[in-house]
Amino acid sequence: MLTLVIFFVIQNFVAQPYQVQQNSMERTLEPGQYVLVDKLTPRFDRYKRGDISVFTPPQTWESDSTPFIKRVIGLPGDRVEVRDDGVYINGTALEEPYTYKNSAGVNEPTTASSDQASWVIPAGQLFVMGDHRQKSADSRVFGPIAETSVIGRAFVRYWPISTVGILPTPAYPGLGAPAP
């Protein structure tokens, strides 16, 4: 009985396994890989640009209830623009070495997936994008997501064994705090 209680507490409040099911994070995370999702520290620390988040898809999105996994790009108060095959935060180009590169080692274009190419992120919301921009249904399509829909941060890949490792959160030099 104690084992069940411990499992329940850990699974619901501390960490949870998650199997990657979409192609949107390709090369960073491949379909079929497993990550551990930290559910505890987001209760004490805000999400940061570059965090890999697992979240419930917006209700307006037509899909099953399978959680999505994407990278946090924009924070509350940020102005996010998708233009010139790049992403700009508050006018500064984002350096994104983690994005998908084709077999020739070239980044595929980052284009807006809708008519909208600029967003100001409201309080309590995040702008998320997949690392494989051409295969990602993300905030470019369904808009910013509520922070309350985020299940947690993926922080370690643990399966298959050959891919075990910490998922680093990139630094974005030259990018200050979100706009007021």
- 24 noted as active-site residue: yes
Given the residues 39, 53, 63, 70, the one annotated as active site: 70
Q: What is the pLDDT along the chain (180 residues), one digit of tens a residue?
A: 766 656 565 666 567 889 999 889 988 999 999 999 988 877 778 899 999 999 998 887 766 778 999 999 999 999 999 987 789 999 999 988 888 876 555 555 565 556 678 999 999 999 999 999 888 889 998 999 999 999 999 999 999 999 999 999 898 877 765 555
Strands (E), the chain: 15-19, 34-38, 52-55, 68-74, 79-83, 86-89, 92-93, 118-120, 125-129, 145-146, 150-159, 165-166
pTM of the model: 0.87
CA dihedral (70, 158, 172, 125) positive or negative = positive
- For the chain, domains (ranges, CATH) are 2-166 (2.10.109.10)
Q: Let me know the angle formed at the C-alpha of 59 by 56 and 64, rounded to the nearest 5 degrees.
A: 65
- 101 noted as active-site residue: no
